[in-house]
Structure formats: C-alpha cells, structure tokens
C-alpha cells in the first residue's frame, strides 16, 4: 500500500477512535446524570435533621453514618435511619414525637462532634463570638462573668431545623379546652429539661403533671421562649387565647413531644434547604 493510503487509513482510525471515545463519554455522562436524578428522587425530604445540617441533597453524602452525634446527645434525640430509607440509610435524624431536641447539652454537642461538617458548626461559633463581643461592650468592666450562657443562648437561637405548624382543628387551646394530667401517659419514655421549673437537667415527661385551664404546654415547655411561640389573646376579636408560632422557632420539636392530643396538634415541618 502506498504512503497516501497508509495516511488515509491512519486518519480514519484516529477519527473512528475519537468518535468511539466521544460516544462512550456521552453514555457515561448520561448514566451519571440518570444516577443523579434517580438519587435525588429517592431523597426523603421529610427527615428532621439535627441542628446545623447542610442541605439534604448534600447531607446524605456528607454524613458518614459514624453515630457520634447519637452517642453524645444527652437526651438521645438523634437516631440513625433504617435500611428501608434508601440513600438516607444510616444518616442522623430526629423523631421529635418520640424524643425532641431540648438543648439540654447547652453547647450543640452533636454539631461540634460531627467530623465531616454535615452538621456545620461555623455559623454557631460566629454567633457565639458575636454575642460575647456585644456583651463585653455593655459589661466590659465585669471581667468575672461567665461567657458560656451568653454564647449558648446566641447559638441555639439561630438553629433552624424546621418550623412548627399548629393544627387549629384539633389543638385544645383553639377548642377552648384546658389540660389536666400527664400529657403522654405513664409509659412514655421521652425526657426534657423544663424551662419554667428551672430543672438542671432533663427529667421524664411521664413524671410531670399539668393543670392548665387553657392548654399551653407547647408554650410552657418551649426551650427558646417568647421569640419562638407565645399564647396570643384574641378574645377582644371574638377569638380565644391560643398558641402562635413566631419567627424564632428553631424546630426543636419539644412542643410536638409534649402535645397531649392523641395525634399531635402541632408538627414540625423540616426546612428543605
């Protein structure tokens, strides 16, 4: 075969190879895209993640299922998703009806202990430092104060796990009813540190007895306080004294855990992003 024929065959071979490589790349990209779409379609957006969780689509890959957050939580609020949860298998979540996050740790330990920043601590660190700096400006002469309460208060107030929503058709307060007794029964295992009694640590909810003319347990037990939920007086407008969720709600779920109706009259909707 002459030289020109050899050159032609060589060019055709190179061209064919390039086309094949391009086709394989396109197929690979297509498969990758389909895998990504399928994976995103299988993400459970209903999981309530622990404080500081990154976006759900990143969280399921960033969480390495180590369980450190589960081990360090003082009220054992954090669980690991079961095998039926697909891509979310082994990732951390909170079932607030069973056990809410009541901030008993006073330091967001679950976030601090996360080795991959799937629970991202920087935002809380900055909030705490800012609060201490502002406190120092006002109380600079007091060098013996404990900065820890100032720091943790600022840190927990910026937590945004979800937002509480009230079912007005079943809420006892909206029905004009009170509550007397133990809200979840004597067999309930959940615990919380009650803010209105000033408990030093979390105690069993089954040991707490209430006697409220108008049910206000969600407000009474909220660890964040009046920036998160209040009892609003609408009697002047023909209404009732009822709970109202405010912008400071962290989605901790204590209100859901203590709600005495058989199906909770308040739920927490996870923040999607």
Q: Provide the angle, in degrees to the nearest 10, between the axes of the packed helices 122-138 and 147-157.
A: 130
What are the structural domain ranges in the chain? 56-157, 162-270
3-state SS track over 13-24: HHHHHHHHHHHH
Instruction: Name residue, tokens 């061209």.
Output: 15
Q: Which two tokens stand for residue 108?
A: 């967001």
**What is the model's pLDDT at position 199?**
87
DSSP 8-state assignment for residue 213: S
End-to-end CA distance of the chain: 66
Taking CA atoms, 128 is separated from 52, 104, 150, in Å, by 14, 17, 7
**What is the model's pLDDT at position 206?**
97
pLDDT tens for the chain, residues 1 to 273 = 555 555 545 555 455 555 555 545 555 555 454 445 445 545 566 899 999 999 999 999 999 999 999 999 999 999 999 999 988 999 999 999 999 999 999 989 999 999 999 999 999 999 999 999 998 888 776 667 788 899 999 999 999 999 999 999 999 999 999 999 999 999 999 999 999 888 899 999 999 999 999 999 999 999 999 999 999 998 876 789 999 999 999 999 999 999 999 999 999 999 875
CA dist 101 and 99 (Å) reads 7
What pTM was computed for the model? 0.81
Q: Which two tokens stand for residue 49?
A: 């993640």
What phi and psi values does residue 103 have, to the nearest 5 degrees?
60, 25
- Whether residue 265 contacts residue 170, with contact meaning beta carbons closer than 8 Å, is answered with yes
Per-residue pLDDT of 89-102, as tens digits, reads: 999 999 999 999 99
Q: Which two tokens stand for residue 194?
A: 């009650």
Per-residue pLDDT of 230-248, as tens digits, reads: 999 988 767 899 999 999 9
């Amino acid at each position: 075969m002459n030289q020109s024929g050899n050159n032609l065959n060589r060019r055709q071979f190179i061209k064919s190879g390039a086309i094949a490589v391009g086709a394989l790349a396109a197929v690979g990209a297509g498969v990758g895209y389909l895998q990504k779409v399928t994976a995103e379609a299988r993400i459970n957006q209903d999981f309530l993640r622990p404080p500081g969780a990154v976006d759900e689509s990143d969280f399921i890959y960033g969480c390495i299922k180590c369980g450190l957050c589960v081990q360090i939580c003082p009220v054992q609020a954090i669980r690991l998703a079961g095998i039926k949860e697909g891509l979310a298998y082994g990732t951390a979540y909170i079932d607030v009806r069973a056990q809410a996050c009541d901030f008993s740790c006073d330091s967001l330990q679950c976030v601090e202990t996360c080795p991959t920043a799937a629970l991202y601590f920087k935002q809380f660190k900055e909030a705490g430092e800012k609060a201490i700096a502002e406190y120092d400006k006002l109380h600079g002469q007091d060098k013996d104060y404990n900065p820890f309460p100032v720091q943790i208060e600022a840190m927990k107030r910026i937590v945004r796990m979800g937002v509480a929503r009230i079912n007005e058709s079943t809420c006892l307060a909206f029905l004009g009813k009170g509550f007397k007794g133990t809200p979840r029964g004597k067999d309930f295992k959940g615990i919380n540190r009650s803010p209105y009694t000033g408990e030093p640590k979390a105690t069993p909810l089954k040991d707490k007895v209430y006697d409220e003319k108008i049910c206000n347990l969600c407000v009474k037990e909220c660890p964040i306080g009046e920036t998160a939920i209040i009892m609003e007086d609408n009697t002047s407008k023909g209404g009732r004294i009822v709970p109202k969720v405010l912008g400071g709600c962290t989605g901790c779920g204590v209100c859901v855990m203590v709600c005495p109706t058989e199906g909770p009259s308040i739920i927490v909707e996870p923040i999607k992003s």
